[in-house]
Amino acid sequence: MKIFGKALNIVPGVLTYNRDGLATKHNADFMKEPRFVDAYAAARSTGSWADADIEWRAHVIAWAAGIGSKLEGDFVECGVNRGGTAMMAMRHADLPALGKTFYLLDTYEGLVEGLVTDAETEGLARYKSLYLPVYDAVVETFEPYPCARVIRGPVPDTLSKVDTDRIAYLSIDMNCLAPEIAAGEFFWPKMSVGAPIVLDDYGWDGHIEQKRGWDDFASRHGVSVLSLPTGQGLIVKR
């Protein structure tokens, strides 16, 4: 591998992390932190990632949830599937103790015909097996957490059911552009200054339309998207 014309050697035996499309020698001590270990175990138990592990993406979620926990407003996730990242954010930020509500929006059965472009359909074909009816399972998962509100249906139709005037944390992972940007536009005026938006699909292969759409969104709102080596994107409200 070369960077700036020079060889960059990553010796497999000294990698600190080599999963989920990311290999690095950088410090990964966060994976040993007790609060992270507890939250990640709860998140993984939802079955969201099958046999995979996504600790570094989960670390980004935990960091963003920590920021949101200190701001005025509630939490929102659009694109919940089985609830893994929502559980990560909730447990790591100890949301039940903060008096905040966590709104969880999804169809809970996959993408909606008519909202997905031809290019997105082609790129997402390999993910079809992930989209099974999971509504009942998610309701059961979050039943012990009264702060969680599971909202079923397609975005943008369900956005008005998020009945809060202030948002402190927003996670978006709907695998298609139109509902993602609709959610971004709907929640942007409600977001506290400094509140993070975590974009799960931003840098991943097969999601170029989402990246371009979010770059345009950011430009129109006078901000920028931080592209992360996890494949995620991060926007901070100004």
Report the pLDDT value the prediction gives residue 228, as an integer from 0 to 100.
98
Q: What's the confidence (pLDDT) of residue 7?
A: 46
The DSSP bridge partners found for residue 235 are 197
Cα–Cα dist 115/126, whole Å: 18
So what's the pLDDT on residue 1? 39
Taking the C-alpha atoms of 57, 38, 67 and 84 in order, what is their torsion angle to the nearest 10 degrees? 50
pLDDT at 2: 40
pLDDT value of residue 173: 96
Counting every residue written for the chain, the total comes to 238
Q: Tell me what pLDDT residue 112 has.
A: 73
Q: What is the pLDDT of residue 230?
A: 98
Q: Tokens 């949301």: give the residue.
A: 95
Q: Please list the pLDDT of the chain residue by residue as tens digits (238 residues).
A: 344 344 445 555 689 999 999 999 999 999 999 999 999 999 999 999 878 899 999 999 999 999 999 999 999 999 999 999 999 999 999 999 999 999 999 999 987 776 677 766 665 555 555 678 999 999 999 999 999 999 999 999 999 999 999 999 999 999 999 999 999 999 999 999 999 999 999 999 889 999 999 999 999 999 999 999 999 999 999 9
Q: Is 68 helix (H, G, I), strand (E, B) or coil?
A: helix
Nearest to 106 by CA among 43, 156, 69, 56: 156
Walk me through the domains of the chain, giving residue ranges and CATH numbers.
2-236 (3.40.50.150)
Which residue in the block uniquely carries the two structure tokens 């008005």? 160
**Residue listed under structure tokens 């100890």:** 94
pLDDT given at position 111? 78
Question: If we measure between CA atoms, which residue out of 73, 142, 144, 59 comes closest to residue 108?
Answer: 142
